[in-house]
Structure 1
């Protein structure tokens, strides 16, 4: 591990390999929560499920206790953008539920998020989810060794705005992606809006968490009295997707995706950079 530029943490291949193991644990936890998400389940029950799985794999939840956060996962429902606290809330048919999850394994962190449509959700809101998730992959696909961190945000915004009705979506600017490694949140910030050609250079050993948050309209948000839950000011609903990834000499490697991101990247014409790359 070394420092690059203004204090960016660069990882050795062995350290990235541990982060990959942590990423797979988070991927499994999110898959288990997705499978359990149905009307009638509480967000607290989902939280317990994720914590049990993470600890059973020899890792620890990195959200729990982080600046006092009480949960293993963030559960943000409908107009809640991010940082929702799990508890007694009962999931209802038609909800959009964002699940943000992380763990730490042998001192190395992983972070990933999904948004799930529960039951009878309108086509317009399912489209919001599709656009948000695809924008995440477009951002990762835009990353190249020698490029800039800002290229990621430019690709995210360009994709969102290119979609039917995309000009009306809000791309949240106050909450962004980040570096990740020996801490969950590290330099650099990874914007979700246009910043092409700006920011630190993308180099081997840098690991980033990319996480667009897209709303039905406004980008203006408020933190509730619990000091955590972020909601849209206009009551519009939101979607949030996140992956942790790195760049190797052969391409991009998504550490928190079960297949390393291979299928989605190759569908976009981008080289996959995992150790099993052909």
Structure 2
């Protein structure tokens, strides 16, 4: 019995030293640790219930029989033994929490972290495999196109000087070179094209804002001259079309300004906190 109690108390250290460290990828102890955690939680709850019951009993004894509590003799000895029992139960609850529940929780966290690391490695390996498969597909794409093209029942290249195998090799090489050039252009021109697109949207948005500002100034001038601001304008329909043309660029410009203001505010808040 003493050996079993010693094993139960030292179970977290046993798992940590004998299973987790030598085999970090093994998640088989998880169920045992969950069962042990449940048992230790029940033990802590029962210990807490015993402590509460003893405290209620002693409080009832003080209220119902105060002359026995203050008297000497056996009742005083009972009071001393009760206090020692209460301290022992409290110490037992503390030891259960510190030596069983907390190490078990740490072991479960360690197992879940090791599982997360293992899954991350598998996902990286899977991503690398998909990347290789994509490149193989890209390589065989022009070959498949050429094979399908020359596999048709046609007499276009019937009188050609080159034999069929040479024509197939030349066409496949040309298609592969064209595909490789397209891939290089997409890879190296992606960032410049994105920057150019953003610059065009920003400039068009600025043009739209200036145009709207000029229209607003014209409306203010009409009000100052005693005219109505809602007066019919021959260019009203044209203005509406221009608004629908510039509306997406204005939204992008407003988002950019909002992000810049938020970034500046975060920088100011960080500087003030430092």
- Looking at both structures, which has the greater relative contact order when contacts are Cα pairs under 8 Å and sequence separation is at least 6? 1
Q: Quick check: which one's strand share is greater? A: 1
Indicate the structure (1 or 2) with the bigger Cα radius of gyration.
2
**Fold match (TM-score > 0.5):** no
**TM-score under structure 2 length normalisation:** 0.19
Q: Quick check: which one's helix share is greater? A: 2
**TM-score under structure 1 length normalisation:** 0.18
